[in-house]
Amino acid sequence: MYKYRKFGDRYVLSIDNHEEIVSAIKAFCEEKHITIGTVSGIGAVSEATLRFLDPAIKNYVDGVFTEQMEISNLIGNISTKDGELYLHIHATFGRRDYTCIGGHLMSAVLNGACELVVEDFGKGTVGRKFDPETGLNLYDFSVTEA
């Protein structure tokens, strides 16, 4: 599913071609017991599902894009919610015509390469709690243990 090498608190991570990226990042964090940290990287995909939160209706709108695109930027954070790993990842994708689309990354199928850096902040975590006002799972700093 992926290959990696560790450098201090960081991992250089290469996801295998044709894998689903979000699932692979999740599997990697679970394997390494990472409960607080960040992920960033670049790559290329053949399809992606992006999510947009419409604050007016406090509801998510998902868009599915089935085309070859560059991951011009992927950035996210690693935390927990109710004791479970919680990934919050945003991504920008470059299209063939050099325009970009972006949003909250739900899933994407790698087609080419996906080169990431995952940073593990160490023991503990920051939890999350649903916030009715925004409709978001916001950081909850009262949670310290994974």
Q: Least distance in Å: CB of 51 to Fe ion? A: 7
Asked whether the beta carbons of 124 and 33 are under 8 A apart, the reply is no
Give whichever of 31 and 84 is closer to Fe ion, judged by the CB atom: 84
Q: Does 92 bind Fe ion (CB under 5 A)?
A: no
Count of residues that interact with Fe ion, criterion CB under 5 A? 1
144, burial (CB in 10 Å: exposed 0-12, middle 13-18, buried 19+): exposed
Torsion of CA 128, 32, 109, 86, to 10 degrees: -10
> Measured between alpha carbons, how far is 74 from 18 in angstroms, rounded to an integer?
17
Q: Which residue is nearest to Fe ion, using beta carbons?
A: 104
Q: Does 87 bind Fe ion (CB under 5 A)?
A: no
Give whichever of 28 and 86 is closer to Fe ion, judged by the CB atom: 86
Q: Least distance in Å: CB of 6 to Fe ion? A: 28
Q: Which two tokens stand for residue 133?
A: 């006002």
> Measured between alpha carbons, how far is 50 from 101 in angstroms, rounded to an integer?
9
Asked whether the beta carbons of 12 and 80 are under 8 A apart, the reply is no
Q: Does 104 bind Fe ion (CB under 5 A)?
A: yes
Give whichever of 64 and 138 is closer to Fe ion, judged by the CB atom: 138
Asked whether the beta carbons of 20 and 27 are under 8 A apart, the reply is no
Q: Least distance in Å: CB of 128 to Fe ion? A: 12
Q: Least distance in Å: CB of 15 to Fe ion? A: 21
Sites of contact with Fe ion (CB under 5 A): 104
